[in-house]
Structure 1
Amino acid sequence: MPDIKSAAFWSFLISGAFLGGTGAHTARAADNDQDLMSRGAYLATAADCVACHTRPSGQPFAGGLKVSTPQGDVVSTNITPDREHGIGDYTEADFEKALRRGIRKDGTYLYPVMPYVSYAGLTDQDVRALYIWFMHGVHPVAEKPLETQLRFPANIRMAMGVWNLLAGREKQETGDSFQYDKLRRGRYLATALEHCGTCHTPRNFMLIEKQDQYLGGGALAGWYAPNITSSKSGGIGDWSEEDLVSYFKTGRAKGRSQAAGPMGEVVEHSTSHLTDEDLDALAAFIKQVPARHNEGVHQARDSFGKPVDTPDLRTGELTRIDDLSERSGAEIYDGNCAACHGQNGAGTADNYVPSLYANSVVGSERPDNLIMTIIYGVDRTTPSGHASMPGFGRNSDVQCLSNEEIARLVNYVTATFGNHDHHVTAEQVAATRTDHLEKMVSHVSVKTTAGSDQR
């Protein structure tokens, strides 16, 4: 959960402000306010607010992160309680309208990269707890992010009113969400707070989620949020609830997948900080989502491949290579990957470095996530530890591979450890090397809260 050490101070100030209350009444007020603060902090973590509202190396919730869309970059806003640059002058009604209806205090529409379509399902009690925490548990930051500048017609915010009518939204829940039964709690987490469908559900030409294909997989700025329905071929129907809980808590499901990119941030900033009960509920709900089968896919993506059993034919003699651009995929793997993943692709015994066979990314029908992981690497920290892999597609302490070399490497890895050679080209790799993608997948260095099947 987020660090809310200041909550006790705020509780004292707020409870003491109620007509100078004393004795048992004051104690009860303080306890109630502390409960709201703690609840709000936990809900903000579950909703992963920090991931989008914090730019790399920026102040928590001060905005400024550029989120890539087909119409340009949407810049996240400052949601700290600063009165001039943030939401410090928002009433609870203003806050609710922005959170659940996508309408700012000044009446203009928000863009749906803010998942108000999902947050519409939040209960009144949870909206109030979030409001109390953002107003009294978040440090105000006097920073004004850049304005969002989108291409026509997306730059006309009034058009979002029509989009909202067509898109629909989650039905608002009632009652105490912390007292729901297991499946209802899991549904609430998945649809309202964690808003899983925002990334994992495909969209139509108007970028509206296709609800008849809920969690069936969707493209995400170079990455691909995979099918996570109960399909045993296209989805994760062969995963157990324990596999899912492990993935949510650590970013690692042994022998299946590791989290990187946007999902790595979700695990780091959000799911790894949920209670065991909530993780169990979330896993139980996702496991029973109706199967969506991917055309042409007949085998689970984490069931392909086996360790390579090739004798080492190297003589120990040094050989001069003048033209490194002509290296084969096997040679590129040997020089850059084998030291960690092993010549046979088995990874490490403790699964810190994952196996490349029985790996849902390598066995996927789509090469997107493997390309992106090679380019950008992995950097994920959870309470269970740190997972790291260098990116080979940008200047760093490791060798920077060319587009052609990455394409050869991807084709070698998928043909050797996955289900086939994807015939990835240098042009496909080049399409992912853009400034806006660099900004989008940069690690968000925020530790006040915790944030795809992608390594």
Structure 2
Amino acid sequence: MKTFFIASSVLISLGFAASAQAEDADAELIGQGEYISRLGDCGACHSLPGKPAFSGGLAIESALGTIYSTNITPDKAQGIGRYSEEQFSDAVRKGVLPDGTRLYPAMPYPDYAKISDKDMHALYAYFMHGVAPSAESPPETDLSFPFSQRWGMRFWNWAFSTDKPFRPVGGASAEINRGAYLVESLGHCGSCHTPRGLGMNEKAFDSSSDAFLAGGNLNGWEVPSLRGLPRWSQQEIVDYLATGRNDKAAVGGEMKSVVEHSTSWMTDADLNAIAAYLKFLGNNPSLPAVDSGAAGATEAKLTAAKDLTEGERLYIDNCGACHFVTGKGAPGIFPQLDQATIVNAEDPGGLIHTILAGAQQPSTAKAPSTLAMPGFAHRLNDEEVAALATFVRQGWSNKAAAVTAGDVAKVRKNLKEH
């Protein structure tokens, strides 16, 4: 009898140990899935302030109309709680729901198609067991005909999407290939930074094409090329992704949300891998060459403050205190205007938007302070904003085209509507 009790105690102890190990393994898998959800930036589109996490409802403006993000909590009525892992994978990687409904590519499934099975498994575990269910019912997407006919996405997918898994870059280091995987799949950087074709499709999905990450236009905001980033060091790329700022620039537009919800949560190893991959790509269109003579002339005229044009006067009155007469700003605080991408963009919409609406840097773990630029829409009329933007685009080393009052009016109208 004594032997029986000893054996029973041992078996019970082993059972508790095995159960604890299983729970630890489950917790680790869910933790991995949470990190992968950060890599995929799921929260930026599916979470709204004041609403339960991942309960959807974000209004995504597109050329087709407004698309609302869905509830992806494990709620069984409003969310994805009844999805099997295969159905979850099909939704994420193929844009197909369990009932056959086709998603619009506002959900970046053409990029998510490259997510590995291992990462998909962890992601599923997190959304099913690490996210609180919510019965929140977001607005239904209701596009006009013919875009309301979701079955047509079957043909769009056939023509423009891909189901090919991630393919490592031949001859590249393990770090560069880790960066390639993150950028091409979970990071879905190409959904904004790769030019679009006639079908509103990404023209390329990997580094085999020079079109990949070569820049584009998103809702009137010119999106820069990420290929090579020759003006930035690898560390400056890491700083920008981790904090939303570096010694030359600060985030604006949609990128603020990306840093806030995704890249600022990445490990140093993954941030460096992304930076190494972007540097590896090369072939970035060059910004204006440094023109020390022109830059010095602009600085001298602003310093003297005599015989100023309207644009120069407006700059001194509204911008000079932070960006200075040099146009260099303050490293890590106020972004540089001389040779800045947003300043020299062919489409001045991003610069105009920033002047009118202002900008605010995100608060991140490595840079908790929130720095804000005020908007000047209430203070400057269209002609004044045009004069200011034209000066900035043509001062120092910048060589961009002039801005008209009509350009400003168009952006102002869009801001009022949205």
Alpha-carbon shift at residue 365 of structure 1 (Å) = 3.9
Give the structure 1 partner of residue 5 of structure 2: none
Choose the corresponding residue for 2:200, options 190, 202, 207.
Answer: 207
- 2:301 aligned residue: 310
Which has the higher Rg, Structure 1 or Structure 2?
2
Please state whether the residue corresponding to 1:291 is helix, strand or coil: coil
- The aligned counterpart of 2:321 is 339
Write out per-residue CA displacement over residues 307-349 of structure 1, whole angstroms, 9 at most, x where no aligned residue: 612365679xxxxxxxxxxx9222322332223223443423x
Contact 1:241 1:280 in 2 (8 A): yes
Matches for 1:262-277 after TM superposition, within 5 Å = 262-277=254-269
Q: 1:150 aligns with which of 125, 135, 143?
A: 143
Question: Aligned partners of 1:69 and 1:311: how far apart in 2?
Answer: 41
| Residue of structure 1 equivalent to 2:350 | 369
Once the two structures are superposed, what CA deviation does each residue of 1:89-131 show, in whole Å capped at 9, x if it has no partner?
2221221110011011221000001011111111111111111
Cα distance, 1:421 vs structure 2? 5.2
How far 1:135 sits from its partner (Å)?
1.6
Could you tell me the TM-score, scaled by structure 1's length?
A: 0.79
Structure 1 residue 382: Cα displacement = 1.5
CA separation in 2, counterparts of 1:311 and 1:114? 47
Deviation of residue 202 (structure 1)? Answer: 0.3
Match of 2:10? none
Give the match's secondary structure for 2:411: coil
Aligned to 2:223: 225
The answer on whether the counterparts of 1:68 and 1:436 sit within 8 Å (CA) in structure 2 is no
- Say if 2:385 is the partner of 1:385: no
Determine if contact 1:78/1:144 at 8 Å carries over to the other structure.
yes
Give the whole-Å Cα distance in 2 for the aligned partners of 1:93 and 1:165. 21
Aligned twin of 2:6: none
- In terms of mean alpha carbon deviation, does 430-439 or 32-41 score higher? 430-439
Comparing 35-44 with 385-394, greater Cα deviation is found at: 385-394
Which consecutive segments of 4 or more residues in structure 1 shift more than 4 A?
Answer: 300-307, 311-315, 434-439
Counterpart pick for 1:356 among 314, 337, 342 = 337
Which position in structure 2 is the counterpart of 1:25? 18
Q: Is the contact between residue 392 and residue 401 of structure 1 (CA under 8 Å) also seen in structure 2?
A: no
Figure out how many residues of one structure are paired with residues of the other and give that number: 391
| Alignment RMSD (CA, Å) | 2.8
Cα pair 2:74 2:127 within 8 Å, conserved: yes
Q: What amino acid maps onto 2:222 in structure 1?
A: Y
Q: How does 1:165-204 map to 2 (within 5 A)?
A: 165-169=158-162, 171-173=164-166, 181-204=174-197
In 2, Cα distance between equivalents of 1:301 and 1:62: 48
Alpha-carbon distance between aligned partners in 1 of 2:392 and 2:318, rounded to the nearest angstrom: 12
The reply on whether 1:254 has 2:247 as its aligned counterpart is yes
Deviation at 1:386, TM superposition (A): 3.1
1:414 aligns with 2:393: yes
| Residue in 2 that maps onto 1:402 | 381
Query: Alpha-carbon deviation of 1:381?
Result: 1.7
C-alpha distance 156-418 of structure 1, shift in aligned 2 (>3 A): farther
Counterpart of 1:215, as a letter, is L
Whether the 8 Å contact between 1:80 and 1:140 is mirrored in structure 2 is yes
Q: Distance in 2 between matches of 1:123 and 1:195?
A: 14
- SS of the aligned residue for 2:406 comes to helix
Q: Relative contact order: is structure 1 or structure 2 higher (C-alpha 8 Å, sep ≥ 6)?
A: 1
Pair 82,40 (structure 1): closer, same or farther in 2 beyond 3 Å: same
- Aligned identity (percent) is 39
Report deviation, 1:360: 2.9
Question: Counterpart of 2:74 in 1: which secondary structure?
Answer: coil
Structure 2 gap ranges (5+): 1-12
SS of residue in 1 equivalent to 2:342: coil
2:327–2:338: 8 Å Cα contact kept in structure 1?
A: yes
